[in-house]
């Protein structure tokens, strides 16, 4: 009873706007993870490095006087460059995909240090014209900030949806579905893999740039464990919204939007665990357990359904 009495519901409510904002920002990264993990069927760990690269590029350009919104363009391009390196190692040099992404991720640590000159750089929360910032969450016009953030995410989903409806996007989807059949249809699957990795990590770099502005700083370790958060968002969205999206006219668009909802739910669950006064040192363990549980749900449901059919 003493423990329950120490929990303050208002503290949880006050934390929710910040968690929703983080969920929307990290949803951009989860969208990139969805492209490689689900569409391309490629285990890409580059994101742990490319997210920090996007943040480092944005912060250094803002310090140099560039407008924060314009700096995000270069964050996206930096992420694309990281994805290109992973794709080149995999397709041109024959290195297995997961190993190629690990090599790029390790190399990006030194690259990020070179970009920033030290392990972290700050721009300060008082910087003008930031695309996202912690101070916007508690400001009087926070409704406008959230409206702009949600609108930006919807525009991004629309662009990705349109892109995968083009010839190149369809070729990427065909490559991820059945690479041998795609090659038989004259598709250069190696080029499509590189293109998908570049688009995916471009989104991750964009997320890194926005998140660095949100926090007011970039850190060389900012992307550590990002792949787990991205996978959590993707898996949560599939488990909860999979049947709702299936069979609809715009099923693919709904699936892309569900990824953002999955990211928000992940951060709400994260806030709930902290509110319950669980040790913060175990939050990485919590993330891993969440991903493992949601990954296991489809398998266990199918296994249970098979047993029922056999029993019937």
**According to the model, what pLDDT value does residue 247 have?**
62
What is the predicted pLDDT for the residue at 242? 72
Residue ranges per domain, the chain?
Answer: 2-311
Q: Which pairs from 99-102 meet CB under 8 Å and 24+ separation?
A: 101/43, 101/44, 101/45, 101/46, 102/45
Per the CB < 8 A criterion, the answer to whether 23 and 271 are in contact is: no
Query: Which of the 8 DSSP states describes residue 186?
Result: T
pLDDT at residue 110, rounded to an integer: 95
Cα distances (Å, whole numbers) of residue 174 to 7, 44, 184, 212, 249: 51, 18, 11, 35, 20
Write out the chain's pLDDT in tens, 312 residues: 666 666 777 877 888 888 899 999 999 999 999 999 989 989 899 999 999 999 999 999 999 989 999 999 999 999 999 999 999 999 999 999 999 999 999 999 999 999 999 988 988 766 788 999 888 888 888 889 999 999 999 999 999 999 998 999 999 999 999 989 999 989 999 999 999 999 999 999 999 999 999 998 999 988 888 888 888 888 888 888 877 666 666 788 888 999 999 999 888 888 888 787 777 777 778 777 877 887 787 778 788 888 888 876
CB atoms within 10 A of CB 1: 5
Torsion of CA 60, 23, 286, 209, to 10 degrees: -10
> Whole-angstrom Cα distance, residue 208 to residue 200?
13
Predicted confidence at residue 4, as pLDDT, reads: 63
Q: Which residues, at least 6 apart from 184, have a Cβ–Cβ distance to it below 8 Å? A: none
- Overall pTM > 0.75: yes
pLDDT of 3 reads 61
pLDDT of residue 249: 65
What 3-state class would DSSP assign to 122?
Answer: strand
- The pLDDT assigned to 108 comes to 95
CB 213 within 8 A of CB 130: yes
Residue 115, CA distances (Å) to 54, 56, 106, 120 in order:
10, 7, 15, 10
Q: What is the per-residue pLDDT for 1?
A: 63
* Cα separation, 288 vs 57, whole angstroms: 29
Q: Which CATH number fits domain 2-311: 1.10.1760, 1.20.120, 1.10.3470, 1.25.40?
A: 1.10.3470
């Amino acid at each position: 009873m003493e423990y329950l009495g120490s929990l303050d519901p208002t503290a949880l409510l006050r934390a929710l706007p910040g968690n929703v904002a983080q969920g929307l920002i990290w949803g951009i990264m989860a969208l990139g993870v969805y492209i490689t993990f689900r569409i391309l069927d490629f285990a890409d760990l580059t994101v742990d490095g490319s997210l920090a690269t996007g943040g480092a590029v944005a912060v250094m350009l803002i310090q140099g006087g560039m407008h924060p919104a314009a700096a995000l363009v270069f964050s996206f391009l930096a992420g694309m460059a990281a994805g290109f390196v992973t794709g080149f190692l995999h397709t041109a040099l024959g290195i297995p995909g997961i190993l190629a992404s690990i090599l790029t991720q390790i190399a990006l640590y030194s690259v990020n240090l070179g970009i920033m000159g030290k392990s972290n750089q700050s721009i300060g929360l008082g910087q003008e014209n930031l695309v996202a910032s912690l101070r916007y969450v508690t400001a009087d016009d926070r409704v406008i900030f959230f409206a702009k953030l949600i609108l930006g995410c919807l525009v991004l989903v629309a662009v990705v949806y349109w892109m995968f409806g083009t010839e190149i996007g369809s070729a990427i989807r065909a490559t991820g579905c059945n690479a041998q059949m795609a090659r038989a249809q004259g598709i250069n699957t190696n080029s499509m893999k590189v293109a998908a990795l570049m688009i995916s990590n471009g989104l991750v770099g964009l997320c890194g740039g926005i998140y660095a502005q949100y926090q007011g700083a970039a850190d060389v370790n900012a992307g550590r464990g990002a792949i787990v958060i991205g996978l959590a968002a993707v898996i949560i969205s599939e488990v909860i919204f999979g049947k709702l999206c299936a069979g609809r006219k715009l099923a693919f668009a709904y699936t892309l939007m569900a990824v953002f909802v999955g990211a928000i739910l992940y951060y709400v669950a994260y806030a709930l665990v902290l509110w319950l006064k669980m040790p913060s040192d175990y939050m990485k363990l919590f993330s891993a357990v969440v991903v493992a549980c949601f990954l296991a749900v489809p398998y266990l449901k199918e296994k249970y359904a098979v047993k029922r059919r056999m029993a019937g």
